[in-house]
Amino acid sequence: HKLYLDGNYAFTPTTRATFRYAYTHATQNADYAGMGLTGAPAGVSNLDGVVNNSLAQFGVTARPIAKLSLLGNVRYEDKEDETPIALYTVTGASPSGATTFTNSQSSSRKLNGKLEASYSLPDNYRGTLGLDYQSAHRDRPVSTTLIDGLSGLREDTHELGYRAELRRSMSETINATVSFVHTKRDGSSWLSLTPGAGFPAVSDAAIFNANGAFPTTLEDRTRDKVKAMADWTPLAALSLQFTLEDGKDSYTAPTEQGLRDTDVKAYGLDAVWTLSDKWKFTAYWNQNKQTLHVNQAGYLAELANSNDSASLGVIGKPSAKYDVGASLSYMNDRNRYQQSLGSGAALVGGGLPDINYRVTALKLFGKYALDKNADVRLDLLHQRAKLDDWTWASNGTPFVYSDNTSVSLQPSQNVTFIGISYIYKFQ
């Protein structure tokens, strides 16, 4: 069940507020026996799950003077998990040595806020400063539950970020923007996950585990990102857009294992050439690279993904009733698995082979207007794909599962699709 209310209010011609409230009541009471599930706790026939979610949002935009624009927004979300606690999880090899644990509720509260000011500066400059805040509180798990595979959790995380952007109209044909973002996330003390101890909060020194596993989404993180964009119209019929982005995330936790940092680099060029009112040519080129540095069991992994894509297209209207178009695109996605040795690692190394995925696609379409409300469209797609993925086999031999089944992969695949559609517009 969901109930919501949206609205806005104009305090003055230059100051306006928006608000929203939403309430959701969700339940899950499907019968275990009816779904063929056995082994439920005594006297429990279904989960009887109940989650109530409340959301409130309030925002204000204002222009106190002609050159200054202000924006503020706050959002609060409260999720209450009222699902009953029962003994669901059984561990141990035999009934005499088995230990039973309960489920745990997952209530949380989140608060997001944003402030922004934008000011028109001399010489066609416009500067923007922003402040972003995020916080989350997660209720501590009940002491009777089991959290396996992790070394610690956090009740609270807080993230504060700053944004700065400078935009300039250099001429009637060139606009450029440069922006920088810096955010820092930290949180409360980590919770020890020793079963039956009540998950107490402890210091980093007390919970430190050289081989521990901590959730990346709860770790301390520092993020820096810079982005530049430029729009250039050298000719009345030609427009170009350039993009450049560089960012890095750094993570810290009371362990020597896990994700240490990531970095992203992206470059792009988009072009549109308007030959006439009826014909337009488009093209783009993008290059993206993401690198992750992960420590695991004495090995330092450098996981890199690079993606290159390009496309050429044309859209035209040869007559009043016909629309046609075509595009040719290419994409090359490459995953690299480099590896070096850390302290205490075995004297082996190297890494793993690359995985490459390439796609070339040709798309054609034509549309004919039967009348002002109805069209017939024909689409043709031909795609050639090649996947070099060693995870499906070793030296040409497919991997065999425990039941002696195997899955093989056809590295090169061609697909052709033809579709005819009828479109009717109600007016």
Q: Across the 427 residues of the chain, what is the mean pLDDT of every consecutive 10-residue run?
A: 95 96 96 88 91 98 96 98 90 67 93 98 94 96 88 96 94 92 97 84 90 93 97 93 97 92 97 95 97 82 94 96 97 90 59 90 96 94 92 74 78 94 90
**Residue 76 counted as domain residue:** no
Instruction: Look up tokens 């202000």; give the residue.
Output: 70
Structural domain total, the chain? 1
What residues pair up with 112 in beta bridges, in sequence order? 75, 134
User: Residue 50 carries which side chain, given as an amino acid letter?
Assistant: V
Q: Is 53 left (phi over 0), alpha (psi -120 to 50) or beta?
A: beta
Identify each DSSP E strand in 67-172 by its residue range: 68-81, 87-91, 99-102, 108-121, 125-138, 152-154, 156-169
d(Cα 361, Cα 312) in Å, to the nearest integer?
11
What integer pLDDT is reported at residue 342 of this predicted model?
62
**Residue 84 counted as domain residue:** no
What integer pLDDT is reported at residue 345 of this predicted model?
58
**Residue 128 counted as domain residue:** no
What integer pLDDT is reported at residue 194 of this predicted model?
81
**Residue 236 counted as domain residue:** no
**Residue 289 counted as domain residue:** yes
**Residue 100 counted as domain residue:** no
Residue of 79, 78, 77, 98 whose CA lies nearest to 89:
98
Domain housing 411: 275-427
What integer pLDDT is reported at residue 411 of this predicted model?
85
**Residue 79 counted as domain residue:** no
What integer pLDDT is reported at residue 254 of this predicted model?
94
**Residue 308 counted as domain residue:** yes
Count CA within 13 A, CB hemisphere, residue 25.
3
d(Cα 42, Cα 29) in Å, to the nearest integer?
16
pTM of structure:
0.84
